[in-house]
Amino acid sequence: MTTVGLLYPGHAAEDDFPRIEVMIDSDIRLPLFHTETGEDAHDIASLRAAGAPERLSAGVEELRLAGAESLVWASTNGSFVYGWEGAYEQVADLARAAGLPASSTSFAFAHAVGELGAGRVAVASIDPVDVAPLFTGFLEAAGIEVVSARDAGPGPAVSATEAAAWTPEQVKELVTAADHPDAEVVLLPCTALHTAGYVPELEELLGKPVLTANQVTVWEGLRLVERRVWAPTLGTLFATREPPPGAVENRGIEVRE
């Protein structure tokens, strides 16, 4: 049995995770703790508040009692909004509080791109114009080139509640609009979007690997405990046993105390 503890902000697409448990069809457990988020908004101040240490540490003991062997903060914008160094400190604090290896969805994306041996990506974001570039900067700090990036524009961002109601057709339109011929992988960074059930469809549509937030979150938790799982229904990321030749080296963040 392998148990990955997840800290998930509020309520939106958290039902992706029990679905992933079923799709993996193995001895993997994904217990989840809902952290407080405050206002359902994607402005920088609200996102930084959602990722504050006291909010993340609130779920540590419950997940430890559930047998978690690793912890992942299942929020992309709630981690990259701190920048690379700040996001590192965020998961370092979490790891110290839990006494377990810890990470976040932002680092999961960086590591997953490296796992696929890719260096150029397109980003299909629903964050507003002042937030989305922070993810680009985070990826660039990991040595990843962002050749195309879509954001929600200058108006109000799509809230987590609204994103959770998106249909597969809307998500397909989003990734198609964000894709670029030079991109080796397309990233869909919002953990509020339901995507677990149709990653292979997105990959077939674009003709390249697609990494989605909830997919990479689970993969990252398993990576932290050196557990590899074969589950092609979750896309190319789960259909590889070993990193390909020339894969980008992962930057470790498995902080333990």
pLDDT of residue 206: 97
Q: Kindly indicate the confidence band of residue 1, based on its pLDDT and cuts at 50, 70 and 90.
A: confident
In this model, does residue 219 exceed pLDDT 60? Answer: yes
pLDDT in tens, 3-39: 999 999 988 899 999 999 999 988 999 999 998 876 6
Q: Is 3 helix (H, G, I), strand (E, B) or coil?
A: strand
Q: What is the pLDDT of residue 175?
A: 94
- Check pLDDT > 70 for residue 243: no
For the beta sheet containing 185-188, the strands, ordered from the edge strand earlier in sequence to the opposite edge, are 145-150, 120-124, 185-188, 210-212
Residue 155 is predicted with a pLDDT of 53
Residues 189 and 110 sit within 8 Å (Cβ to Cβ): no
The one-letter code for the residue type at 140 is E
Mean pLDDT of the chain: 88
C-beta separation of 139 from 76 below 8 A:
no
Residue 244 has what pLDDT?
47
- Residues 222, 4 contacting (CB under 8 angstroms): yes
CA distance 173 to 160: 18
pLDDT at 247 over 50: no
| pLDDT at residue 256 tops 60 | no
**pLDDT score, position 41:** 62
Out of 17-26, 32-41, 135-144, 229-238, pick the least confident.
32-41
User: What number of H helices and E strands is found in the chain?
Assistant: 12, 9
Strand locations in the chain, DSSP E? Answer: 2-9, 28-29, 32-35, 70-73, 102-104, 120-124, 145-150, 185-188, 210-212
> Residues near 2 by Cβ (< 8 Å), separated by ≥ 6?
27, 28, 29, 69, 222, 225, 227
Residue 141: pLDDT above 70?
yes
Q: What is the pLDDT of residue 172?
A: 94
Q: For the segment 172-206, what is each residue's pLDDT rounded down to a tens digit?
A: 999 999 999 999 999 999 999 999 999 999 999 99
Q: Is 212 helix (H, G, I), strand (E, B) or coil?
A: strand
Residue from 135, 120, 156 nearest 82 by CA: 135
Average pLDDT score over residue span 98-107: 96
The pLDDT value given to residue 154: 58
Contact 121, 146 (CB under 8 A): yes
* Strands (DSSP E) found in 10-89: 28-29, 32-35, 70-73
> What phi, psi does 9 have (nearest 5°)?
-75, 115
pLDDT tens-digit series, residues 59-88: 899 999 999 999 999 999 999 999 999 999
The single residue listed with the structure tokens 């809230």 is: 159
**Look-up of token digits 């994607």:** 42
